[in-house]
Amino acid sequence: MNQAKATWICALLLMWSFTGSATQNQTVGEEEQALLNQKEKLNDYFGNLISWTTAAGLSACQWFHIGCSNGSVTNITLGGRQLSGSLACDLGRLRSLQRLEMQDNSITEEIPWALGMATRLQHVNLSNNWLTGGIPHSLSKLPHLRSIDLSNNNLTGIAPKFRKGVYVNVAGNPLLRSC
């Protein structure tokens, strides 16, 4: 599937997912589905995501590598877990997500623009992967963002300007230019 078609499909899925939710708070079921969609996009040869299932009656807050507060997913900590695959646009549906750590894996393809819809994100670490394409402008608009580490990937294009006070590391992306 070409990248433009994949982007449109991702956008349509996100718009569809937000139209059914009139409140700011998500149910755990919606968060579980977003995480299960992410799991489908990853190759997990060592069983890091084995607890990510609804069959055992566990909520997402009981899954390994997931942190929660008040019943909502706030942290995904999958750094150095030898995962490969890509990032799901569904991560943008995790409206309480504050920390995304998926560094030191073999994550490929582009960073989904929809990640910028997770407006509570404070810390993003996707360093030392094989990410390609540009840095979505939506990430530079995250109001609570404190740090973003995208170093040592294969990112290209012009990096968006982040607001003052945000720690940004994009070193090791030789085809990425600063604005």
Would the pLDDT of 7 be above 80? no
Tokens 């996707």 belong to residue: 126
Q: Tell me if 124 sits within 8 A of 148, measured CB to CB.
A: yes
Choose among 162, 159, 160: nearest CA to 143: 162
High-pLDDT (> 90) share of the chain, %: 80
Choose among 152, 97, 151: nearest CA to 120: 97
Task: Provide the CATH number for the domain around residue 43.
Answer: 3.80.10.10
Q: How confident is the model at residue 23 (pLDDT cuts 50, 70, 90)?
A: very low
Tokens 């995208």 belong to residue: 150
> Which structural domain, as residue segments, surrounds residue 172?
3-178
How many domains does the chain divide into?
1
The DSSP symbol for 22 reads -
Choose among 36, 89, 28: nearest CA to 61: 28
Give the model's pLDDT for residue 146.
98
Give the model's pLDDT for residue 68.
98
Average pLDDT over residues 128-157: 98
How far is Cα 20 from Cα 145, in angstroms, rounded to an integer?
Answer: 27
Average pLDDT over residues 132-159: 98
Give how far Cα 40 sits from Cα of 5, 29, 90, Å: 19, 16, 11
Would the pLDDT of 107 be above 70? yes
Q: Tell me if 95 sits within 8 A of 28, measured CB to CB.
A: no
Amino acid identity, position 67: G
HSE of 22, CA atoms in CB hemisphere, 13 A: 0
Q: Tell me if 139 sits within 8 A of 111, measured CB to CB.
A: yes
Q: Could you count the other beta carbons within 10 Å of the beta carbon of residue 72? A: 20
DSSP lists the bridge partners of residue 177 as: 158
pLDDT tens, position by position, 47-82: 999 999 988 788 999 999 999 999 999 999 999 999
Query: Is residue 32 classed as helix, strand or coil in its secondary structure?
Result: helix
Would the pLDDT of 21 be above 80? no
How far is Cα 35 from Cα 33, in angstroms, rounded to an integer?
Answer: 5
